[in-house]
Structure 1
Amino acid sequence: MSLLMIGCGKMGGSLLTRWATSTDHKITIINPSLIKAPKGVTVTQTIEELYDQRFDIIVIAIKPQLIETVLPAYRNHLAESGCIISIAAGYSVSSIEKLIGEQAVMRVMPNLPAQIGRGVSALYANSRCSPSQLETAAALTDAVGYTHLATSEDELDRVTAVAGSGPGYAFEIARCWIESAIKLGFSPQTAKDLVLNTLGGSIELAMSSDQSMEALRDSVTSKNGTTAAGLATLMQDSKLETLIESTVLAAYERALALR
């Protein structure tokens, strides 16, 4: 199938790299500032270079505030049975429909680990999307990691709060953990190695286990041991649980405001 990507920032570039190597789609991108594209990808500088080409899929990968100005010009480049896929956070399907009319429109919210094929993507499709279009879109998101099919835009916004913004939470927790290791006397590099390998190994173990997080936590917690002492502080008055809940809720509320 033919795919046109409008824009190619960090997330668009991550998706593009994976799609170019793991799909058979004929990909064209419009990005004046892109220096080098993956092998097999056609790069154009302006919409005029497309001439009368039409595409099965048009991916919106520009900043949300630019969509209203940029997207309408691409309406005639969408194939009659084509679909629009937007990865722009907070820009609703109804807003896209106002710009291009009654078309098949999907929203995808990927996250940063898509760069290495370990991303989490939420996918929502409007009622004009056919089963085959949804299947094609899911194959694109599967190429960069795990896909969650959302049944509403509200669900997509909730996934955004949990997974789309999630890497930011994870990196900040890791940063604090690394800083605590440095204060115990480790070098910055050793502290980073200790923390990230501990996190990575723990996550791999959790993903391969049928046990709950509580059971896994308890399996490394001996009575009156070092882990118990640390957890007693971490879990005091449910402060951590409350903080994480508040963090995710704040992200969700912001997603609603952007919509």
Structure 2
Amino acid sequence: MIDARILLLGGGNMGSALLGGWLEKGLSPASVTVVDPAVGPALQPLIDKGVGHRTAVPEGDFDIVVLAVKPQMMTAAVPPLKAAMRPETLVVSIAAGTTVAAIEDLLGPHPVVRAMPNTPALIGRGITGAYGNERTGEKDRDAAGQLLEASGPVEWVGEEALIDAVTAVSGSGPAYVFHLAECMAKAGEALGLPADLAMRLARHTVAGAGELMIRSDDAPSQLRKNVTSPNGTTQAALDVLMGEDRLALLMEEAMRAARDRAEELAKG
């Protein structure tokens, strides 16, 4: 893990998930200071391990500042960070819908990495899309990558606008999968299964299929074919889902809506 002084602004669920991953990867607790007005249940065990905690931004000389507060809190919470930064201090932001330009307006010119993790980061199984501004050099990207990879793989994009597409696919994506499980369970109930059994079947099927995709070298399309016997039960269901590209078109429409909303939020 990198050797750097890190200030983490925000010790909520996502900030604490990142911090927990850093410690598991070998980062010294003494090298991190968390700024949060309150200590919640996710943060307290990390403080107990030796992570520093402040209710306000301390003066200092931090190498990396990580912004893990809600977007609506940025205007008030971020400017005090100037007292703890140098011009070369790297800024890593996981605040949804907050552009690099907005961060620079609040902090001045810095190397800035804008990142979009997703909620499976809470269990170390997330994936993050990331973009670095023109001041972000190779050393900065490596440092940001090490921090973000503590909760799962990192995929870099060459244009900031693509972060909104990442948001639509993986940032919001867990909610689509959870809703799929809901729909599968409800359909199981309609077929006569007890509600609790239908939900267990749906949850484990979705989770198991996801793990199989990660572990397999086959593309999802091939894994689908592996399950599908000609004229069998799975084929009958897929004829409904895939007929006239029904599900594919619906997912594209849904993700366009998510991408467009992300763009709206970024514009304020």
**AA partner of residue 23 (structure 2):** A
Aligned 1:51-200 pairs, distance under 5 A? 52-200=59-207
Unaligned runs of 5+ residues in structure 1 are none
Contact 1:11 1:112 in 2 (8 A): yes
Residue in 1 aligned with 2:16? Answer: 13
Q: Point out where structure 2 has 5 or more consecutive residues left out of the alignment.
A: none
Report whether the alignment pairs 1:209 with 2:216: yes
Hey, what's the Cα distance between the residues in 2 that align with 1:23 and 1:81?
Answer: 24
TM-score normalized with structure 1 length? 0.92
Q: CA deviation at 1:37?
A: 4.2
Contact 2:13 2:122 in 1 (8 A): no
- Secondary structure at 1:118 match in 2: coil
| Alignment counterpart, residue 45 of structure 1, candidates 49, 52, 55 | 55
Give me the TM-score of the superposition, normalised by structure 2.
0.89
Cα 1:189–1:40, aligned 2, differ >3 Å: closer, same or farther? farther
- 2:255 aligned partner, one-letter code: V
Query: Quick check: 2:67–2:95 contact (8 Å CA) kept in 1?
Result: yes
Q: Which amino acid aligns with 2:259?
A: Y
Following superposition, the deviation at residue 100 of structure 1 comes to: 1.5
Q: Deviations over 1:108-148 (max 9, x none)?
A: 11000001111010111111122111101101111100100
Instruction: Give the share of equivalent positions with the same residue, in percent.
Output: 37
Alignment of structure 1 residues 28-43 onto 2, 5 Å: 28-35=33-40, 36-38=44-46, 39-43=49-53
Where 1:107 maps in the other structure, the secondary structure is strand
| Cα RMSD for the two superposed structures | 1.6
The Cα of 1:210 is off from its aligned counterpart by 3.4
Q: Distance in 1 between matches of 2:72 and 2:213?
A: 39
Task: Report the Cα distance in structure 1 between the residues aligned to 2:195 and 2:16, rounded to whole angstroms.
Answer: 30
3-state SS of paired residue (2:217): coil
- Compared with structure 1, are the counterparts of its residues 2 and 126 closer, same or farther at alpha carbon in structure 2 (3 Å cutoff)? same
Range with bigger deviation, 115-124 or 220-229: 220-229
Task: Work out the number of aligned pairs and report it.
Answer: 256
Does residue 223 (structure 1) correspond to residue 230 (structure 2)? The answer is yes
Higher deviation after alignment, 140-149 or 66-75:
66-75
Moved more, 249-258 or 69-78: 69-78
* Structure 1 letter corresponding to 2:54: T
Quick one: which of 217, 233, 239 aligns to 1:232? 239
> What is the deviation of 1:214?
2.6
Determine helix, strand or coil for the equivalent of 2:186.
helix
Measured in 2, the distance between the counterparts of 1:221 and 1:70 equals 53
Q: CA deviation at 1:80?
A: 4.1
